[in-house]
């Protein structure tokens, strides 16, 4: 891949550069779409089906149509990505990967020469159907990244925090993820990158992490000084101003914390949470402090770990300030397979009755998860991924009936970052028969998670430039809800706005993302009916 930007390093951050906006790959020929140098405006008819029950309990389906206007800011600007846990496996791997892609590097491996790529990124390495060729009737598929004007990962400025003082080159060595030949090519740049001091509350992560904590801000419980310190790191010379950024996206990719108790008067409302931080309440997690600081800076915040960072008070605070948040927990290997396979089985009319998931891994995430409180956070995020698919099929499952679902994680240092995931799916089939599916999945954790980090940053930034309004007199453009459910494809336990159903089925999540982007340019969802061929 050809390099898109040169790289230099200052104040522990990787500087990207904003490129001149390229011409769009396609335009939409419709009276409902208007292009200006600064914006894309579209008029869109949204079709749904409303279902009611008649007096005799019969279902009545009524087609509905609502008209909306979308507006997309075409100017991307210069974007920064700040990672909490920058020196961890994920942070060091994604940084090295972006540097390698930016410089168009290739390196020798046991299997031959390897070139930098963004495989595993939905945004950078997947395509979507635009339509059908007018002459040949062939499907025309385009890169996802060309659906709308999006920041290129090569152009991201990168910085962040870590409780460890190691520079990024040392962190990369400690992670033991990348090939030595690649590490040597990016080492000179990464040795100059050092994470900013992070906040560290020992009660929230496993005690076995204490020996890494040599780069911490003073104080072991929440304080408003910690919020202001993080705000300054985002806003001032350390990152945003120093790098001339228009926007910053903040992501938690640090250790899994224990679940925070939801306590009335402490973290149940925005006012209570802010007061709890100011008074140093011990049930406020470090990740929640980062979230509040990001919200105050209007920097989208995404929780890539399974704990309940975005407690009710944090969500309410984001809604009040119209700031974007998203979570929880990167959906990279085993859970992504599970959400795809369960969706397939239940849609095929097969009754899944048992799921047993076993994991063993040897990276620092596994070490941290060997503590029961932290494991419980992960167990919750991995266990709820089938609920909506089960609830959708009342033929197979009675109300409140669920498959048995067990998740086990063990720390095995020898396997390093190459997590072993073993799953058994047990199902009832025709006339009392049974089907058992066993999967053995070697998930190279950080190499699967790093592209998700890129996707989440690119898509979160994209959503800051999309606004919409009802097609009614006096209606004003507004942004999407603060809780970015559009990011669900990349997250194990996706958050949704109040009153919105949680969707875990992988196909539905991807379709939602694509169809929202199609709406932004005035295109209806692709139906895949191909009636133009069937009715000849």
Residues annotated as catalytic are 329, 378, 419, 492
Identify whether the C-beta of residue 126 lies closer than 8 Å to the C-beta of residue 147.
Answer: no
Q: What Cα–Cα distance (Å) separates residue 47 from each residue in 44, 120, 510, 529?
A: 10, 32, 19, 16
Residue with tokens 């194990």: 492
Q: Is the backbone of residue 216 left (phi > 0), alpha (psi -120 to 50) or beta?
A: beta
Relative to beta strand 325-327, strand 351-361 is unpaired
Which residues pair with residue 41 across a beta bridge?
34, 71
The residues, any chain, with a CB within 8 Å of residue 223's CB and separated by 6 or more, are: 277, 278, 280
Torsion of CA 367, 373, 378, 382, to 10 degrees: 130
Q: Point out which residues pair with 406 in neighbouring strands.
A: 356
Angle CA(236)–CA(242)–CA(243) in degrees, nearest 5? 125
Q: What is the largest CA-CA distance in the chain?
A: 74
Strands (E), 396-458: 404-411, 418-428, 434-444
The CA-atom distances, in angstroms, between 530 and each of 284, 438, 515, 534, 535 are 53, 36, 18, 7, 9
Indicate the Cα dihedral angle 413, 418, 419, 425, nearest 10°.
-140
H/E stretch holding 123:
helix 122-125
* Rounded distance between C-alpha atoms, residue 362 and residue 420, angstroms: 10
The closest alpha carbon to 488, from 334, 329, 378, belongs to 329
Count of CB atoms within 10 A of residue 135's CB?
Answer: 6
Q: Return the axis-axis angle of helices 89-103 and 168-175, rounded to nearest 10°.
A: 110
Q: State the Cα–Cα distance between residues 483 and 77, nearest whole angstrom.
A: 23
E strand residue ranges, 36-78? 39-53, 59-73
């Amino acid at each position: 891949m050809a390099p898109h930007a040169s790289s230099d390093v200052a104040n522990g951050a990787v500087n990207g550069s904003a490129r001149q906006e390229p011409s769009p790959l396609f335009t939409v020929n419709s009276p409902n779409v208007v292009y200006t140098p600064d914006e894309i405006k579209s008029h869109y008819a949204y079709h749904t089906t409303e279902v009611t029950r008649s007096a005799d309990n019969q279902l009545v389906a009524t087609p509905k149509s609502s008209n909306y206007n979308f507006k997309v800011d075409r100017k991307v600007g210069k974007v920064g990505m700040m990672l909490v846990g920058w020196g961890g496996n994920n942070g060091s791997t994604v940084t090295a990967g972006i540097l390698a892609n930016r410089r168009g590097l290739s390196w020798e491996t046991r299997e031959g020469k390897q070139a930098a790529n963004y495989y595993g990124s939905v945004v950078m390495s997947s395509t979507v159907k635009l339509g059908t060729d007018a002459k040949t009737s062939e499907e025309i598929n385009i890169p996802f990244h060309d659906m709308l004007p999006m920041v290129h990962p090569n152009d991201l400025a990168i910085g962040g925090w870590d409780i460890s003082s190691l520079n990024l080159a040392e962190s990369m060595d400690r992670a033991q993820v990348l090939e030595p030949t690649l590490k040597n090519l990016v080492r000179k740049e990464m040795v100059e990158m050092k994470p900013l001091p992070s906040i560290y509350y020992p009660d929230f992560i496993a005690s076995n992490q204490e020996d890494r904590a040599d780069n911490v801000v003073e104080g072991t419980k929440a304080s408003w000084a910690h919020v202001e310190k993080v705000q300054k790191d985002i806003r001032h010379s350390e990152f945003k101003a120093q790098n001339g950024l228009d926007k910053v996206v903040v992501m938690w990719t640090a250790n899994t914390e224990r679940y925070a108790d939801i306590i009335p008067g402490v973290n149940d409302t925005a006012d209570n949470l802010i007061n709890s931080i100011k008074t140093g309440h011990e049930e406020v997690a470090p990740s929640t402090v980062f979230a509040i600081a990001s919200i105050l800076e209007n920097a989208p915040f995404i929780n890539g770990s399974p704990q309940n960072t975005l407690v009710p008070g944090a969500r309410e605070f984001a809604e009040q300030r119209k700031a974007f948040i998203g979570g929880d927990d990167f959906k990279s290997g085993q859970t992504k397979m599970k959400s795809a396979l369960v969706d397939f089985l239940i849609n095929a009319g097969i009754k899944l009755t048992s799921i047993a998931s076993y994991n063993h891994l040897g990276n620092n995430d596994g070490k941290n998860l060997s503590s029961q409180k932290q494991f419980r956070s992960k167990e919750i995020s991995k266990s709820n991924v089938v609920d909506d698919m089960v609830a959708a099929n009342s033929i197979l499952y009675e109300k409140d009936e669920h498959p048995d679902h067990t998740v086990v994680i063990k720390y095995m240092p020898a396997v390093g970052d190459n997590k072993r995931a073993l799953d058994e799916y047990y199902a009832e089939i025709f006339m009392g028969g049974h089907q058992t599916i066993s999967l053995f999945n070697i998930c190279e954790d950080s190499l699967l998670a790093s592209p998700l980090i890129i996707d989440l940053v690119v898509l979160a930034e994209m959503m800051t430039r999309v606004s919409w309004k009802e097609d009614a007199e006096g209606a004003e453009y507004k942004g999407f809800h603060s809780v970015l459910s559009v990011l669900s494809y990349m997250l194990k336990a996706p958050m949704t706005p109040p009153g919105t159903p949680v969707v875990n089925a992988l196909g539905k999540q991807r379709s939602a993302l694509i169809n929202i982007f199609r709406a932004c340019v005035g295109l209806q969802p692709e139906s895949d009916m191909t009636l133009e061929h069937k009715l000849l």
